[in-house]
A and B are shown apart, each in its own frame.
Chain A
Amino acid sequence: MPEDLAIRIEDLSISYKVSLEAKRTLKNAVMRASLKQKERTRTIEAVKHLTLDVPHGSVLGIVGSNGAGKSTLMRCVAGILSPTEGRVTVNGKISTLLALGVGFNPALSGRDNIILGGLASGLNMDEISDKTDEIAAFAALPDGFIDLPVRTYSSGMYGRLSFAVAVSMTPDILLLDEALSAGDAAFKEKSFERMRQLCAEARTIVIVSHALATVTDLCDSAIWMHKGQMLSKGKPEAIVDEYLKFLNVGSLPSSYEDM
């Protein structure tokens, strides 16, 4: 892989095999076996033959409608899902902030969760104790919420904390999946600031967002995904325009019809 690339995705396909049963249980499996039935499953191709290079220091935006496969792609780049076909090569330390937030245990305080999240992502205790205060300060939760159980947080407070944790890891590659949607205007401004700073340090960022302004503001290139395929790639303004047109018209432009 060329040295200036942070992420190289080659002909990547990811599919989920979904059971159509309400719950997969041993009981059902035994029942099926005794009736000589096969399990009813459906294969969902969430990402189809996607090829993409992301150079170091670039900010890539990904747009697309619900179920387009954006989160699936991000999970694969983070090494959480493995590809069904193709290959993903990543060069650098990854930090992820995916749609569900970090692995927060709702019964524990924000501070304890920061420590656990950091340890899971491979930091050691010293590094984390240095960072905990910094993260708490960045998240700037009101009146001592940082020491209250996470279950008492509002979704915005939760989002702030997740974002603060993800950016504090000084990753080489930062993956953000709808990370900024819950914060208020002030926090959004602050997080934009932080992301610009990370870009200035030549770190690579991939942003998935339904807030298209985020994509045009922050990214220097963008792709549009639709039903698992990458339909187009280019300057963020152009891609967002195209995507908006599609949203308003509701059908794909004729040039894509044979895809």
Chain B
Amino acid sequence: MPVNENFVPKIQVFEPHRASLPPLIPYLKEFWTRRVFATELARFSDKAEYLDSRLGKVWLVLNPLLLGLIYYLVVEIIRPGGGLPGLTRLDHLLIGLFTFYFAQNCVTAGALSITAGGRLILNQAFPRALLPFSCTIQAFQQYLPTIPVYIFVLVVGKWAYPTTEVPGWTWNFFWIPFIVICTGLTGFGLALIFATLNVYFRDTNKLLTYITRIWMYLSPVLWLPNSLRGNMKILLWINPLGPVLSATSRVWVNGASPSKNTILGCIFWAIASIMIGGYFFISRERDFAIRI
């Protein structure tokens, strides 16, 4: 009898499951060892998406900029004049829109990641959460180039209106990585929920196009967080993106540090989304292969 010298005993037992979690430590370990798969998948999907169009990378920048322009026009037409100088409003709108789109891209792409992952899911066993995670990374990579766009608009704006209150450099910009991480975590958590729903109900992503639109109007993107009065203020807290968008506007546009409550709100929604989304997704992911 020949002997396989490289054999490493690795016992795996597959048994029926109920809708409870699989052992979490091994799951997270597997997830961690295959994280490169998620980053490479994000890189390759980008490549596949933009392979055909030479303008691909340019679109990454042009697209948010044009959207910003459109919404700016809309807002200016709806509310002519009124309070703030134009540049502050434009800056608030741009950075709010870019941050909102980062979260929205996490959710909409992540929602499709399982149902679109057909062959990969039917033929290979791996922690399925890697697929929405890869979408989060991809959304982040698309978010990054919008930052220089924003800074460019800012610099040009400050040059054109030297009297503007929009800040130059401040140490409060060190809040930005924190905000971006909270946004990404919240987006990933919500993506886990919608990815699971989309396996069971295939029209979820259609519904999602309406949800995200309403969601944006309810978020402090087209309006300023401090323009809310009385009971309406609750919109800033019950919206998973409310705190991060308030913080974004406060840091980028006012150059101030976010309030303590806002910081706590950011942390709360990041953790809550990950916990709820993670439980919902991981407890059901063993069903995915027979349902897609």
Residues of A within 8 A of B (CB): 1, 3, 16-17, 23-27, 29, 56-57, 75-94, 96, 98, 100-105, 107-108, 112, 115-117, 119-122, 124-125, 149, 170, 172, 200-203
Is B15's CB under 8 angstroms from A57's CB? no
Is B11's CB under 8 angstroms from A91's CB? yes
In residues 89-125 of chain B, which contact A (Cβ within 8 Å)? 117, 119-125
List the A residue with the shortest CB-CB distance to B48: A107
Q: Distance in Å from the Cβ of B169 to the closest Cβ of chain A? A: 38
Q: What are 10 A-to-B residue pairs whose CB atoms are below 8 Å?
A: A25-B201, A56-B7, A57-B4, A105-B45, A121-B124, A122-B30, A172-B6, A172-B10, A201-B5, A202-B7
A88 with B13, Cβ < 8 A, contacts A25-B202, A112-B47, A116-B44 known: yes
Q: Is B41 on the interface with A (CB-CB < 8 A)?
A: yes
Selected interface stretch from B31-39, B158-166, B241-249: B31-39
Instruction: Give the complex CA separation of A16 and B203 in angstroms.
Output: 22
Q: Is B25 on the interface with A (CB-CB < 8 A)?
A: no
Instruction: Give the complex CA separation of A92 and B7 in angstroms.
Output: 7
Is A91's CB under 8 angstroms from B10's CB? yes
Option from B2, B119, B203 in Cβ contact (under 8 Å) with A103? B119
Q: Distance in Å from the Cβ of B49 to the closest Cβ of chain A? A: 8
Q: Distance in Å from the Cβ of B237 to the closest Cβ of chain A? A: 28
Is A100's CB under 8 angstroms from B15's CB? no
Chain B's interface size range is 35 or more
Is A202's CB under 8 angstroms from B123's CB? no
Is A202's CB under 8 angstroms from B4's CB? yes
Is B122's CB under 8 angstroms from A119's CB? no
Is B122's CB under 8 angstroms from A75's CB? yes
Is A92's CB under 8 angstroms from B203's CB? no
Option from B4, B40, B203 in Cβ contact (under 8 Å) with A25? B203
Is B124's CB under 8 angstroms from A103's CB? yes
Interface centre among B17, B119, B200, B286 (most CB of A within 10 A): B119
A116 with B40, Cβ < 8 A, contacts A83-B14, A84-B16 known: yes
- Which residues from A are CB-within-8-Å of B34? 119-120, 122
- Which residues from A are CB-within-8-Å of B14? 76-77, 79, 82-83, 87-90
Q: Distance in Å from the Cβ of A120 to the closest Cβ of chain B? A: 5
Interface centre among B11, B14, B36, B45 (most CB of A within 10 A): B14
- Lowest 10 A-B CB distances belong to which pairs? A103-B120, A202-B4, A119-B37, A107-B48, A79-B125, A26-B201, A25-B203, A88-B14, A202-B2, A98-B123
Q: Is B58 on the interface with A (CB-CB < 8 A)?
A: no
- Which residues from B are CB-within-8-Å of A75? 122, 289
A100 with B13, Cβ < 8 A, contacts A81-B289, A107-B48, A170-B6 known: no
Instruction: Give the complex CA separation of A117 and B41 in angstroms.
Output: 10
List the B residue with the shortest CB-CB distance to A172: B7
Is B126's CB under 8 angstroms from A120's CB? yes
Is B11's CB under 8 angstroms from A90's CB? yes
Q: Is B141 on the interface with A (CB-CB < 8 A)?
A: no
Is A101's CB under 8 angstroms from B4's CB? no
Instruction: Give the complex CA separation of A253 and B123 in angstroms.
Output: 35
Option from A26, A83, A86, A91 in Cβ contact (under 8 Å) with B207? A26
Q: Is B12 on the interface with A (CB-CB < 8 A)?
A: yes
Instruction: Give the complex CA separation of A82 and B284 in angstroms.
Output: 11
Is A93's CB under 8 angstroms from B44's CB? no
Q: Is B234 on the interface with A (CB-CB < 8 A)?
A: no
Is A203's CB under 8 angstroms from B47's CB? no
- Which residues from B are CB-within-8-Å of A29? 201
Is A108's CB under 8 angstroms from B12's CB? no
Instruction: Give the complex CA separation of A120 and B2 in angstroms.
Output: 30
- Which residues from A are CB-within-8-Å of B36? 119, 124-125
Q: Distance in Å from the Cβ of A175 to the closest Cβ of chain B? A: 10
List the B residue with the shortest CB-CB distance to A202: B4
Q: Is B290 on the interface with A (CB-CB < 8 A)?
A: yes
A27 with B203, Cβ < 8 A, contacts A82-B17, A202-B1 known: yes
Q: Distance in Å from the Cβ of B29 to the closest Cβ of chain A? A: 11
List the A residue with the shortest CB-CB distance to B198: A26
Is B44's CB under 8 angstroms from A105's CB? yes
- Which residues from B are CB-within-8-Å of A25? 201-203
Is B51's CB under 8 angstroms from A82's CB? no
Option from A85, A102, A107, A116 in Cβ contact (under 8 Å) with B51? A107
Q: Is B230 on the interface with A (CB-CB < 8 A)?
A: no
Q: Is B24 on the interface with A (CB-CB < 8 A)?
A: no
Is A96's CB under 8 angstroms from B12's CB? no
